[in-house]
Amino acid sequence: MQTIAVIGAGMMGKGIAQTSAQSGYKVLLTDVELAIAEAGKAGIAKGLGGQVKRGKMTEEQVAEILDRITPIGDYAPMAEADLIIEAATEREDIKIKILGKAGEVLGADAIMASNTSSIPITRMGATCPDPTRFIGMHFFNPVPVMRLLEIIPGLASSETTIARAREFGDKLNKQVILAGDEPGFIVNRILLPMINEAIFVLGQGVGSIEDIDNGCKLGLNHPMGPLELADFVGIDTLYEIVKVVYQTTGDSKYRPAPLLVKYAEAGWHGRKTGRGFYDYSGETPVPTR
């Protein structure tokens, strides 16, 4: 594999593009329009600039990484990609539209992956021109830092596709784990009920935002408390994942906490909107309740 195309220049798409370029791949980065893909590359440049300031990288290394990333405004150039990774908004209708368009230009030997957090891979694969060459590749935020890559074969994914996805993960220096195509796969099946429960705990007045987060940070050695993590991942994204897991299993233990629904509906989506469980308008985040 030499060329990777990443569809979606949000938090996850940028992270996947940066990590792939850092591992020597040529990367084509796209979004709904060229300007967004260009802004995505500028965001990557800013992050890498920080690494230079901290003495972790040289200007030359950063220039080489950025040289490998090309923002594109339409799908045609992706015909040269060996792997196309969809990393768009966590909504099945949006993802299926993208996969349909990407499937039209997918090279004869190339494979296609979705970075979905929860949507069934088999179901999405069935909408692709060649389901044998489609697979789930679930990255974790921030992608350049988190060591894990969860690979989820669909019912139709071929052994070659699985092997190629694994080989890509190895090249990115990620620890690859293989998950079944079940709601939430492995990690989100475990993580989401924890975050959702923390929101129930908050809603029922059992603890304050600070005490819930400190409880998990200091009592469990988690790097971030569950509410801080919810803001970091995005409350809208979490809500979509919880809904998928709840609807697909029909199991009431996965029902979204009422406060999660309210925050999602209020547009209080966390860091990216400036407000979630914390307020991000000042220098340091302040709990909002």
Task: Please report, as ranges, the residues that interact with ligand 3HC according to CB under 6 A.
Answer: 47, 54, 56, 117, 140-142, 144-146, 188, 191, 223-224, 229, 233
Residue 106 to residue 78: CA distance in whole angstroms? 7
Kindly tell me which of 191 and 202 has the beta carbon lying closer to ligand 3HC.
Answer: 191
**Residue 12 CB, nearest distance to ligand 3HC (Å)?**
8
* Cα within 13 Å of Cα(134), Cβ side: 27
Q: Which residues pair with 26 in a beta bridge?
A: 3
Amino acid at the residue 69: I
**Residue 191 CB, nearest distance to ligand 3HC (Å)?**
6
Peptide bond into 142 cis (omega under 30): yes
For every residue of 205-262, DSSP letters joined together read TSS-HHHHHHHHHHHH--SS-HHHHHHHH-HHHHHHHHHHHHHHH--GGGPPPHHHHH
Kindly tell me which of 147 and 282 has the beta carbon lying closer to ligand 3HC.
Answer: 147
Kindly tell me which of 205 and 223 has the beta carbon lying closer to ligand 3HC.
Answer: 223
Kindly tell me which of 161 and 188 has the beta carbon lying closer to ligand 3HC.
Answer: 188
Residue 181 to residue 122: CA distance in whole angstroms? 7
**Residue 111 CB, nearest distance to ligand 3HC (Å)?**
21
CB atoms within 10 A of CB 179: 18
**Residue 183 CB, nearest distance to ligand 3HC (Å)?**
13
**Residue 65 CB, nearest distance to ligand 3HC (Å)?**
12
The DSSP bridge pattern shows strands 175-178 and 148-153 to be: parallel
Kindly tell me which of 107 and 144 has the beta carbon lying closer to ligand 3HC.
Answer: 144
CA neighbor of 119 nearest in space, from 75, 87, 82: 87
- Catalytic annotation, residues: 117, 138, 150, 188
Query: Of all residues in this chain, which one has the CB nearest to ligand 3HC in the complex?
Result: 117
